[in-house]
Structure 1
Amino acid sequence: MLNYVVRRVLYVLPIVFGVTVLVFALVHLAPGDPLNAVVSPDAPAEAVERLKAQYGFDRPLPVQYAYWVGNVLTGDLGVSVATGRPIAPQIGTAVVNTLILAVGATLLGFTLGAVLGGIAGAFQGSWIDKVVTAIAVTGVSVPHYWLGIVLVIIFAVELNTLPAMGMGPGGSSGWAWDVEHLRHLVLPVVTLSVIPMGIIARTIRAAVAEVLSQEFIQGLRARGLRTPGVMMHVVGNVAATALAVMGLQLGYLLGGSILVETVFAWPGTGFLLNDAIFKRDIPLLQSTILVLALFFVALNLVVDLAQVLLDPRMRRG
């Protein structure tokens, strides 16, 4: 087991290096001047050059990359061009806010998807299977932002039962475990959970159907094991696959909730990315993308190790 863990960690190192190179290169290849957000068009050339030197934009790109990586390794993510504030606290707060959404959406989507997928797999080919498949396909096909707008129109505008924007009452940007904050969480969590629900339902349905068709299930039934006992064996065989899908969906939600967070004005990483893109704030954009990418890599590593604990046969790979 230890050798497997060490091998998986070593595999991650070149991936992390590649992520830093891609993040740095793609952001700098985008058109536009990052200083446009803070410098007026008629600003003196000396002031522009001074700002470029202050943020390191006057250096060659390889030198900028080396300085950037060196600072990141020390925990210094730089200073925002648009606001002049340190980036690390902004990203830390945004990541926590996005995690609240992503974990809630993953748990809701995983619970509904696992139940629906398990039922569909157990009744493969029946009308129940067809209904669940239709629900799953619809969930995967519906755009996040469109569903969010529809839910706002129905529950916030027409019925006036749930708030449409923010994390809490009065435009609060902090989180508290009370009724008002939980009410603000409902619509974005439901919106984000639909696609994971569809993906997990389809995955679980296929995995359950495959396990039920194997010979050892017939052997269990021949020995007189009842359906609940058989399903416990099915759950044990499907758990590793379900965990992998759940981990991937959590990672996707962390980086892919930009439109939903914008619709609901939720101050997470998606909202922060949207703001950095429009303001051409390269340091903030780079650091946010890097943190999300590294979180995704770390999450995949944790999921891989957890899968091995659930199914030691995977250790052979």
Structure 2
Amino acid sequence: MLSYILRRLAYTLPILLGVSLVCFSFIHLAPGDPISAVLPENASAAVMAQIKAAYGFDKPLPIQYLIWLRHVLSGDFGTSIMTQRPVVREVLPAAGNTALLAVAGIGLSFIVGIGLGLLAGFSDRRLTDRSVTGFAVFGISVPHYWLGMVMVVIFAVTLHALPATGIGPDGTNLVRFGVEDFKHLLLPAVTLALIPAGIIARSVRATVIEVRRQDFVQTLKGKGLKRRRIFLHVVKNAAPPVLAIMGLQFAQLLGGSILVETVFAWPGTGFLLNAAITTRDLPLLQGTVIVLAFFFVITNLLVDVMQSLIDPRVRRI
């Protein structure tokens, strides 16, 4: 088991290095000049050259990448061009807010998706199966931003039951886990949970149906095993592929949703990415993307380890 974990850890290092290279290259290939966005139109060429030298934009791109990577490995993500604050101080609170939203959203989607998927998988193509399939297709098809705006109109504007924006009642970014904080979390969490709930429900249904058709299940039925025991055997054999899908969905939610966080003005990484893209703040954009990529890779690593604990055959891959 230890050798498998170490091997997976070794695989993550080149992946993270490749992600950093792609992130740096694509951001710098985008059109526009980040320095021009913060300087007045009448700024002299000398002032612009001085600012570029201060941020290292006057060096060739390979040199810029190596300098940036060295700073990142030491925990220094640079300074935001717009706020003049260290990027770490901007990204870490936003990542915490996104993690809170992601945990709430993925927890809700896990409960709904797994429950409905198991219900449909054991319903033998009855009305329940068709209803769950219809819900899953609806959840996958509905755009996040449209559902968020509809929920704001219904629950915030019309019914005045829930707040439309923000993370807390006092307008700050601090969460105190009270009733008012829960109200602010509810709408974006439900909006964010709909698509992964549909994906998980369809995946669980398909995997359970496939496992139920295997010979060993028929053998268990022929031996007269109780339905509860058969159910546990089916769920155990269906768990590894479903766990992989759930891990990917959690990693995507942990990466944040720009549209959902923008609609609800949730101060997470998605909202921060939107602001960085709009203002062309390259240090902030690079720092946010590399932190999200790190979370994504680590989540996949944890999913691989959990899969190997459930199914030892995975360790042979």
- Same structural fold, with TM-score higher than 0.5 when normalized by the shorter chain: yes
1:227 corresponding residue in structure 2: 227
* Contact 1:82 1:281 (8 Å CA) reproduced: yes
Report how far residue 255 of structure 1 moved. Answer: 2.4
| Within-5 A mapping of 1:270-309 | 270-309=270-309
Q: Secondary structure at the match of 1:170?
A: coil
1:81 corresponding residue in structure 2: 81
Spell out, residue by residue over 1:288-308, the C-alpha distance to the aligned partner (whole angstroms, 9 max, x if none): 001101110111111111100
* Contact 1:37 1:81 (8 Å CA) reproduced: no
Spell out, residue by residue over 1:68-100, the C-alpha distance to the aligned partner (whole angstroms, 9 max, x if none): 000000000100011100110111100000001
Taking the aligned partners of 2:242 and 2:180, their CA distance within structure 1 comes to 33
Normalised TM-score (structure 2): 0.98
1:213 corresponding residue in structure 2: 213
Spell out, residue by residue over 1:171-194, the C-alpha distance to the aligned partner (whole angstroms, 9 max, x if none): 221111100000000000000000
2:157 corresponding residue in structure 1: 157
| Within-5 A mapping of 1:249-260 | 249-260=249-260
Taking the aligned partners of 2:254 and 2:299, their CA distance within structure 1 comes to 11
* Contact 2:37 2:280 (8 Å CA) reproduced: yes
Taking the aligned partners of 1:182 and 1:172, their CA distance within structure 2 comes to 14
> How many aligned positions are there?
317
Q: Secondary structure at the match of 1:75?
A: coil
Aligned amino acid, residue 49 of structure 2: E
Report how far residue 256 of structure 1 moved. Answer: 4.5
Taking the aligned partners of 1:73 and 1:147, their CA distance within structure 2 comes to 39
Report how far residue 126 of structure 1 moved. Answer: 1.4
> Which runs of 5 or more structure 1 residues have no equivalent in the other structure?
none
2:60 corresponding residue in structure 1: 60
Q: Secondary structure at the match of 1:176?
A: coil
Spell out, residue by residue over 1:130-156, the C-alpha distance to the aligned partner (whole angstroms, 9 max, x if none): 110010010000000000000000000
> Which runs of 5 or more structure 2 residues have no equivalent in the other structure?
none
Spell out, residue by residue over 1:190-235, the C-alpha distance to the aligned partner (whole angstroms, 9 max, x if none): 0000000000000000111011111111222222222122111111
Taking the aligned partners of 1:113 and 1:238, their CA distance within structure 2 comes to 14
* Contact 1:167 1:184 (8 Å CA) reproduced: yes
1:44 corresponding residue in structure 2: 44
| Within-5 A mapping of 1:103-182 | 103-182=103-182
Aligned amino acid, residue 164 of structure 1: A
Report how far residue 44 of structure 1 moved. Answer: 1.6
* Contact 2:102 2:256 (8 Å CA) reproduced: no
* Contact 2:121 2:206 (8 Å CA) reproduced: yes
* Contact 2:200 2:246 (8 Å CA) reproduced: yes
Aligned amino acid, residue 313 of structure 2: R
* Contact 2:97 2:267 (8 Å CA) reproduced: yes
* Contact 2:148 2:187 (8 Å CA) reproduced: yes
298-307 or 216-225, larger mean C-alpha shift: 216-225
Aligned Cα root-mean-square deviation (Å): 1.0
Report how far residue 247 of structure 1 moved. Answer: 1.1
Taking the aligned partners of 2:57 and 2:24, their CA distance within structure 1 comes to 13
2:6 corresponding residue in structure 1: 6
Spell out, residue by residue over 1:26-62, the C-alpha distance to the aligned partner (whole angstroms, 9 max, x if none): 0000000001232011012221111111111011101
* Contact 1:258 1:274 (8 Å CA) reproduced: yes
Taking the aligned partners of 2:56 and 2:84, their CA distance within structure 1 comes to 14
What is the percent sequence identity of the aligned residues?
A: 54
Normalised TM-score (structure 1): 0.98
Taking the aligned partners of 1:254 and 1:38, their CA distance within structure 2 comes to 30
* Contact 2:98 2:256 (8 Å CA) reproduced: no
Give yes or no for the alignment of 1:203 onto 2:203: yes
Q: Secondary structure at the match of 1:69?
A: helix
Aligned amino acid, residue 42 of structure 1: N
Q: Which runs of 4+ in 1 moved over 2 A?
A: none
| Within-5 A mapping of 1:302-317 | 302-317=302-317
* Contact 2:255 2:295 (8 Å CA) reproduced: no
